[in-house]
Amino acid sequence: MVDVIGIFGNIELQLFILLLLAFSSYMAHSKKVQLHCSLMGIALFLQVLTIFFVMSPSLSSVSGIQISDQLFLELWVHHIAGLLVMLLVLYINLAVKGYVRFLGEPYRLMKPVALLWFVVFLGGIHIYTRLYSAL
Domains in the chain: how many in total?
1
pTM of the predicted model, to two decimals? 0.77
Which pLDDT value is given to residue 5? 43
- Sequence-distant (6+) residues with CB within 8 A of 86 are 44, 47, 48
Confidence of residue 62 (pLDDT cuts 50, 70, 90): low
CA atoms within 13 A on the CB side of 74: 18
Nearest to 39 by CA among 98, 89, 101, 107: 89
Q: Are 2 and 58 in contact (CB under 8 A)?
A: yes
Q: Are 28 and 51 in contact (CB under 8 A)?
A: no
Domain enclosing residue 70, as ranges: 4-133
- pLDDT tens, residue by residue, 86-131: 999 888 888 888 888 877 776 788 889 989 989 998 998 888 888 7
Count of CB atoms situated within 10 Å of the CB of 44: 19
Task: State the Cα–Cα distance between residues 95 and 104, nearest whole angstrom.
Answer: 10
For CA atoms 47, 51, 53, 55, the dihedral sign is positive
Q: Are 28 and 20 in contact (CB under 8 A)?
A: no
- pLDDT tens, residue by residue, 25-54: 899 889 888 898 889 889 989 988 888 887
